[in-house]
Chains A and B, each alone.
Chain A
Amino acid sequence: MKKSLTATLLALALASAATAETITLLNVSYDPTRELYADFNPAFARYWKAKTGDDVVVKQSHGGSGAQARSVIDGLQADVVTLALAADIDALHKKAGLLPADWQKRLPERSTPYTSTIVLLVRKGNPKGIKDWDDVINPGVSIVVANPKTSGGARWAYLAAWGYAERKYGSKEKAREFITALYKHVPVLDSGARGATTTFVQRGIGDVLLAWENEAFLALKEFGADKFEIVVPSSSILAEPPVAWVDKVVARKGTEAVAKAYLEYLYSDEGQEIAGRNFYRPRNPAVAAKFADVFPKIELFTIDDVFGGWTKAQHAHFADGGVFDQIYQK
């Protein structure tokens, strides 16, 4: 009681100080959102200035999703987190109680303003003839993907491949055989999605990159569509990178209102447009329709359908001694 009183007083003191000056938010995010938030932050600042007259500066921190969650747990003062997967934000609740367990119910669409999926990026002309997931384990194909232990995108990629195999061949054993075969074709496991893209694009390693759809588009844009092409598999996973404000931090800094508004603005028409422009699939159907020719139609399954949610998937596949570890210990 006493603690919360001091916290409130402190928050009030800080809030009153803040009205006179610029408000600063810290958005702790994962690797591939650099361009998205570089685009979105000024747009939000304009919106907030027009609405309240306050200036707001959003600082960014990027890194592997798990590493970023770890920093927030250890005390990085993030007002908002925009991470690659729900499990990493769950950790903020479980390990440090920084936000309530039902954080995902506080914003629409399971707190995920934009979605993405996993696609296959191949070299121009598709020399290895990769059409779908089954082709990536053909003899002589080498696959680049990040380490699912540390990279959120790589976890989605693993689950996409597994889900495809389980749904196609109808059993967990077959799916396991497929995923084991797949990682036998991987020569480099970078620790983050960005590292994997650099390895594939810049270092010329591998025939196919299992990538976030937005990363694949960005690679085409940055390095030229004449060098790479995107192969859309017959089915993939609906990747939901969620967002949340960190209650303990915003309470202390007195930034709750602006942090909430920041995340809510991601759902606005402008926010959704910016997401679409940066190759994230907008949630809003009207905005999504505008980008219909950009994003290919894929049959998308969810993590709940195939794996029964993040907690189960995390425990069975990525925990120490889980399926992923077993693949490498044989």
Chain B
Amino acid sequence: MPAAVASPLTTAGSRNPLPRASRDAAWVRWTLTAVALVFLAFFLALPLAAVFAEGLRRGVAAYFASFRDTDALAAIRLTLLTAAIAVPANAVFGVAAAWAIAKFPFRGKSLLITLIDLPFAVSPVIAGLVYVLIFGANGWFGSWLIDHDVRIIFAVPGIIIATTFVTFPFVARELIPLMQAQGNDEEYAAATLGASGWQTFWRVTLPNIKWGLLYGIILCNARAMGEFGAVSVVSGHIRGETDTLPLHVEILYNEYNFVGSFAVASLLTLLALVTLVLKTIVEWRHAASRSAST
């Protein structure tokens, strides 16, 4: 996710009370607010409400019964496992990439940043396709993998790799502008005082970027748990084995189990809402720690 969107942190600062010249007439204010709220109601609130309304159509009992199904539980476990591997991997990468890009000058930096952004703009379908071309039976490593009985696509590793690809830029693109904005002064000071590189990172850099890092991880996690297109291409759709939650939503939908489908969908929606709450808290804490330090 390119910098511009992911980085309210770099600018979220104290808000000055607006002078009179910057205030709009009351009718303008009301009209614009009404337009904005109606637009958001149609495009955001309504889909949200629809998920829960459809999930609860047959009552609360039917809603909760949807989660007791063993296949649903297997899908939840697989989704958690996928996120548990893809998110930390991308977080470590994000920190390393941000350290190299923000702290040191080198040629080709713009190109590198663009390449890191690439998975964001690549269609998830293409992301799935490339792993089929590589690990599929007719792909580069296909016959070797089959001879050695190693399964990548249509198995858990393929799902994890595809998810890692799709969520690749989230943490890095969050941290790069943040670390660039913070500069190197504190790290230089630490180095001058004799701290090792590792100590500098743990004691100086990490505390400075922890909210940005957390913010990136939250977004990365939300996307990792919700990815559909890429995972759909490489999953093989084996019930109870290679179905993630979003794929399970589709399966239930195709089995005319609409209540179950929307119930599982509502679980993912709740996850999205929790993500938004966490994100708001992180933004708030970050703003607070910034204004405390300045």
18 A-B contacts (beta carbon < 8 Å): A26-B238, A31-B254, A59-B239, A59-B240, A60-B238, A61-B238, A62-B237, A62-B239, A63-B237, A73-B137, A74-B136, A74-B137, A75-B151, A76-B236, A77-B151, A194-B254, A198-B253, A222-B256
Which residues of B lie under 8 Å from residue A74 when comparing CB positions? 132, 136-139, 142, 153-154
Which residues of A lie under 8 Å from residue B240 when comparing CB positions? 59
Which residues of B lie under 8 Å from residue A26 when comparing CB positions? 238
- Bound CA–CA A73/B153 (angstroms): 12
Chain B 105-149 interface 0/1 with A at a Cβ cutoff of 8 Å (1 = within):
000000000000000000000000000100111110010011101
Which residues of A lie under 8 Å from residue B239 when comparing CB positions? 59-62
Interface residues of A (CB under 8 A from B): 3, 6, 10, 26, 28, 31, 34, 59-63, 71, 73-77, 95-96, 192, 194-195, 198, 202, 222-223, 252
15 A-B pairs besides A61-B238, A73-B138, A74-B139 with CB distance below 8 A are: A6-B147, A34-B255, A59-B241, A60-B239, A62-B239, A63-B237, A71-B154, A74-B142, A74-B153, A75-B137, A75-B146, A76-B238, A77-B151, A96-B137, A96-B138
Q: Are B149 and A252 in contact (CB under 8 A)?
A: yes
Q: Which of A6, A77, A195 contacts B254 (CB 8 A)?
A: A195
Q: Which 6 A-B pairs have the closest CB atoms?
A: A75-B137, A74-B136, A76-B154, A194-B254, A76-B236, A61-B237
- Bound CA–CA A195/B255 (angstroms): 10
Interface residues on B, range: 20 to 34
Which residues of A lie under 8 Å from residue B151 when comparing CB positions? 75, 77
Chain B 217-258 interface 0/1 with A at a Cβ cutoff of 8 Å (1 = within):
000000000000000000011111100000000010111101
Q: Which of A34, A73, A202, A252 contacts B258 (CB 8 A)?
A: A202
- Bound CA–CA A3/B255 (angstroms): 42
- Bound CA–CA A28/B241 (angstroms): 13
- Bound CA–CA A297/B132 (angstroms): 45
Q: Are B237 and A75 in contact (CB under 8 A)?
A: no
Known pairs A59-B239, A60-B238, A61-B237; A75 contacts B254 (CB<8 A)? no
